[in-house]
Amino acid sequence: MSTLTIAAVQFDISWLDKQSNFDRLEQLFKDHFTDHAAADLLLLPETFSTGFCINRKDVQEPKDGSSALHWLKKIAKQYNCVVAGTVLVSQNDKKVNRFYWVFADGRVEHYDKRHLFRLGKEQDFVEQGQHRKIITIKGIKILPLVCYDLRFPVWSRNRQDYDLMVNVANWPAPRRHIWDTLLKARAMENQSFVVGVNRIGPDGNDMPHSGGTTVINFDGENILSATDHLQQIITTQLDFSKLDNFKDKFPAFLDADKFELVKVVSKS
């Protein structure tokens, strides 16, 4: 395996102001990166262009011609990296919370958020994603998750099909200790590197966010963390040969229970 350089953006998202978010992010990149090939993967928080506003029909983008998607393509090409973040995209009579992964050559992959936040009535406005996704960068296999997905370990169970788990979120400050705890738990139980990317600041509903953007080792130890309440980019290089060595010495995955995820269709 090779190494992968990760840049994670802890960002105070302007509510429903895409252009302001694009402009401020571009300034952050300009201030942080000394060259245009500073990372292999650049990660943005959930709904980075608008904030987590799910109940308005004007806060969604078409599948084609998305301004946020065009912007992601521009940044990926400019910095010669993969750029990833979620956007609310029209689908049927609702929308999906779509985690775009945009490559420097213009290729796009995506994962649609599976677990919808019932307390916030996300399921009333957003369609549930149906497919688990693995994305490969430089030979490294990555499991993308979005916010509330973090609470559901069966969906994220490592069947030796990924090396790195990434979760991008708008995880609120009152439940911050759960975010911190579950990120470490997912790393240890799955013997995987984990990157969590969260926003800061109050959203349009006055819900506060304290951050907690972090990179965690496969044994649950923090490698690097952002400062709470501070808008910043953290960058680190992950060495996946260390993960291989760890799993060789402690092959707990060989004793894992086998299972299969099935789609349940309710009867009308």
Strand positions, DSSP E, 119-172: 135-137, 140-146, 164-169
Catalytically annotated residue among 46, 81, 95, 184 = 46
Distance CA 254, CA 112 (A): 30
End-to-end CA distance of the chain: 49
Alpha-carbon span 257 to 248, nearest angstrom: 19
**Active-site residue 113, yes or no?**
yes
C-alpha 95, offset from chain centre: 18
Residues 203 and 51: beta-carbon distance below 8 Å: yes
**121 among known catalytic residues:** no
User: Of 194, 133, 178, which Cα lies nearest the Cα of 6?
Assistant: 194
Count of CB atoms within 10 A of residue 121's CB? 12
**Which residue in the list 73, 95, 113, 184 is annotated as catalytic?**
113
Contacting residues for 106 by C-beta, under 8 A, at least 6 apart: 73, 76, 77
Q: Which of 156, 143, 128, 110 is nearest to 263 (CA)?
A: 128
Query: How big is the CA angle at 48 (ends 135 and 155), to the nearest 5 degrees?
Result: 40
Q: Is residue 247 annotated as part of the catalytic site, yes or no?
A: no
For tokens 């439940």, what's the residue?
A: 175
Q: How far from chain centre, in Å, is Cα 99?
A: 7
**Residue 215 and residue 236 in contact, taking contact as beta carbons nearer than 8 Å:** yes
DSSP letter (8 states) at residue 112: E
User: Any idea which residues carry the catalytic annotation?
Assistant: 46, 113, 147
